[in-house]
Chain A
Amino acid sequence: MSVSLEDVYSKSSSLVHRAVADEAILVPIRRDVADLDSIYALEGVGPRIWELVDGRRTVGDIVSSIVAEYDVDPAIAEADVLEFVLEIQSLGGLERVK
């Protein structure tokens, strides 16, 4: 799997997510069952990146938003967002739509 800045992702329907306080909690649904023994928590900038994934923005747009909102070097933000997307995609939480 690889991710490029032109890719567009949407949140997978095989996963339930809830924002609670500063965290986003993701619960994968497998065979129509969500197992609370197997959940993922996004902390720090993670929930913001997750929020920005909407099926319309490209990965590059998301990087630009993060750079605008946080005090961060664009190269570091890009590397982190790409890695984030790759990681969540490997969990089945994101689907590439374009």
Chain B
Amino acid sequence: MPGNPDSLSEGLSFQKRRRRILSTSRFPEQTIAEGHELSGAQFAALARAVLNSGASLRFRARGGSMYPTLQQGDILLIRPVSAHWLSKGDIVLCQAGSERLVAHRILGVGSRQKGSRFLVKGDHCGSQDGWVAGTTVLGRVAQVERGQQNISLESKRYRLLGYLIACLSPLNVWQYPAMVWIYRLLRRLGSHHRVLCTGAS
């Protein structure tokens, strides 16, 4: 590791190395979140390997490009998904530019006949990432853990909300007031629905 005095041991005796092979160091929880231990390239390589194996990926988010849907420190669960099943409003982990992976929202879906491609953007970003090929999409954000809360983005309510945000996203000025209004409306409808159900039973 750069900055670690032990990294100077390259080419020295086995004794020096010995201490290191025996320390299969378990990264402290926070250092992963802050990205101090995993570089962007390392994270991308691991994420790709995990999701290509068919397993889901869990990691701590950083950055604020998807605020308020995703927030700094949230723990995200990414499920591998075929590009065929992705739709407008979904939040996907994809490669936007060089090797950087981002979890951003799909605003548009290109022709599937010529190979899937998606227009992606962070909810809190002023500009779009642009069109990305379906092959650069690694998975879909399925769940967000925030404190004691577990939020399923695969629920009907959040998928509808995601779709509406994607529709409004080009209108950045109105996006956040509109999101708050839509969210409150959905909550009110939800509680109204519960009252009706309770009344019916």
Chain B residue with Cβ nearest A22:
B10
Chain A residue with Cβ nearest B12:
A71
Stretch at the interface among B21-29, B126-134, B162-170, B183-191: B21-29
Min CB distance A53 to B, Å, is 13
**Is A46 a contact of B21 with CB atoms below 8 Å?**
yes
Number of residues on chain B facing chain A (CB within 8 A): 42
Contact with A along B164-184 (1 / 0, CB 8 A): 000000000000000000000
**Is A77 a contact of B58 with CB atoms below 8 Å?**
no
Indicate whether B42 reaches chain A with its CB closer than 8 angstroms: yes
Q: Bin chain A's interface residue count.
A: 35 or more
* A20-B42, A27-B46 known; A33 vs B55 contact (CB < 8 Å): yes
Chain B interfacial positions (CB closer than 8 Å to A): 1, 6, 9-10, 13-15, 17-27, 29, 32-33, 37-39, 41-43, 45-47, 49-50, 53-60, 75, 77
Complex A-B, nearest 6 residue pairs according to Cβ-Cβ distance, in ascending order: A44-B20, A72-B14, A36-B59, A44-B17, A46-B21, A34-B50
